[in-house]
């Protein structure tokens, strides 16, 4: 989906040459995407407008630090709508929800604010459209992920989950001439294409989605990691273990040539043994990770002799999503 990017492209040196030979390659872009930024700001603005407690179904985004910080401000995270007092304010997370969840919230007269990422909403609309046309929809994604549950819930009689290339063998359809694939937005681009290739071998008339389902931010972060990984003895991905796109970055780094790669929520989780014999460390972060956590890793490494920090820039992101309509008037200038 994306051409290899030479490591030299976009490198800027932010510190003088290291006398020890130790260096850090800092992936750009990294961290917050437009959908996450919108979701987190939605909860913050809801707190400002309605006061605590504000309820959020599931985690607003998959990041421990973000969730803990919001909880300290009076956000209550719940698994289902029946845990929310009738008439209270409930925010739906960035991952989206099924129509059944909307109906359950309405039955309890909850004041809902939908923070679903617009790119996830796009996949929901595609599922509804192709279900209306009576297609079998093969949804590539991870079983149990909230985004997959929300998308599949739009057309449960037409959607079949395909959890990776090895799941293709068990897929059956009613009419091989009316089959389309959609995908979870946070998957590995390469693995998704492997799954699609296997599906196409089984169903030659398989149709592609009208536009790319894997989000721009997920793709951009994977491209940046691919650019720097061959130069890295170690890649540290900042992100939570329930963050699909963060976990994928570890896999992408290893697949692209990094000798080792690890996922951490905080710098304090880095095992100093990982740094033994290491000269080049790559750092990136998942799309739901605030930059303060990345800088904590940079500082951790600086204290251990990694003073030379270079940025590996493969794309510039400028996309911004508007807040939900209930909160737009109060958006910061």
Q: What is the set of active-site residues? A: 147
Is the Cβ–Cβ distance between 105 and 90 less than 8 Å? yes
What are the two backbone dihedrals, phi and then psi, of residue 208, each rounded to the nearest 5 degrees? -85, 155
* Block residue for tokens 């992101």: 317
Query: Whole-angstrom Cα distance, residue 254 to residue 83?
Result: 41
Question: Where in 96-188 does DSSP place strands (E)?
Answer: 111-114, 136-140, 159-162, 179-183
Structural tokens at position 112: 């809902």
What are the two backbone dihedrals, phi and then psi, of residue 251, each rounded to the nearest 5 degrees? -65, -40
Query: Whole-angstrom Cα distance, residue 296 to residue 318?
Result: 25
> Long-range contacts: 75-84, Cβ < 8 Å, 24+?
75/43, 75/47, 80/104, 81/57, 81/105, 81/108, 81/110, 82/108, 83/55, 84/55, 84/57, 84/108, 84/110
Q: How many CB atoms lie within 10 A of CB 52?
A: 11
Query: Whole-angstrom Cα distance, residue 192 to residue 321?
Result: 26
Three-state secondary-structure class, residue 110: coil
Query: Whole-angstrom Cα distance, residue 247 to residue 286?
Result: 8
Q: How many CB atoms lie within 10 A of CB 49?
A: 14
Query: Whole-angstrom Cα distance, residue 196 to residue 140?
Result: 8
């Amino acid at each position: 989906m994306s051409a290899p990017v030479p490591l030299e492209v976009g490198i800027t040196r932010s510190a003088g040459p290291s006398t020890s030979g130790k260096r850090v390659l800092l992936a750009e872009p990294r961290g917050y995407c437009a959908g996450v930024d919108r979701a987190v700001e939605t909860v913050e603005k809801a707190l400002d407008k309605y006061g605590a407690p504000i309820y959020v179904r599931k985690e607003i985004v998959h990041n421990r630090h973000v969730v803990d910080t919001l909880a300290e401000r009076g956000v209550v995270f719940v698994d289902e709508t029946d845990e929310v007092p009738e008439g209270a304010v409930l925010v739906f997370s960035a991952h989206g929800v099924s129509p059944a969840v909307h109906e359950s919230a309405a039955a309890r007269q909850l004041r809902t604010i939908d923070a679903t990422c617009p790119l996830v909403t796009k996949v929901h609309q595609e599922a509804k459209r192709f279900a209306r046309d009576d297609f079998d929809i093969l949804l590539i994604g991870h079983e149990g992920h909230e985004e997959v549950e929300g998308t599949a819930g739009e057309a449960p009689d037409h959607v079949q989950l395909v959890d990776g290339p090895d799941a293709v063998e068990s897929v059956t359809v009613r009419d091989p001439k009316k089959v389309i694939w959609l995908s979870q937005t946070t998957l590995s681009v390469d693995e998704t294409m492997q799954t699609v290739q296997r599906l196409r071998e089984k169903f030659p008339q398989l149709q592609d989605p009208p536009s790319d389902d894997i989000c721009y931010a997920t793709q951009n972060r994977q491209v940046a990691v691919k650019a720097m990984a061959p130069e890295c003895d170690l890649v540290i991905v900042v992100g939570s273990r329930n963050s699909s796109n963060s976990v994928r970055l570890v896999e992408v780094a290893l697949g692209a040539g990094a000798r080792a790669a690890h996922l951490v929520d905080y710098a304090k989780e880095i095992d100093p043994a990982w740094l033994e014999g290491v000269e080049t460390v790559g750092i990136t972060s998942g799309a739901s990770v605030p930059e303060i956590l990345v800088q904590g890793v940079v500082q951790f490494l600086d204290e251990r002799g990694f003073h030379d920090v270079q940025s590996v820039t493969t794309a510039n992101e400028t996309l911004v999503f508007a807040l939900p309509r209930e909160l737009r008037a109060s958006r910061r200038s």
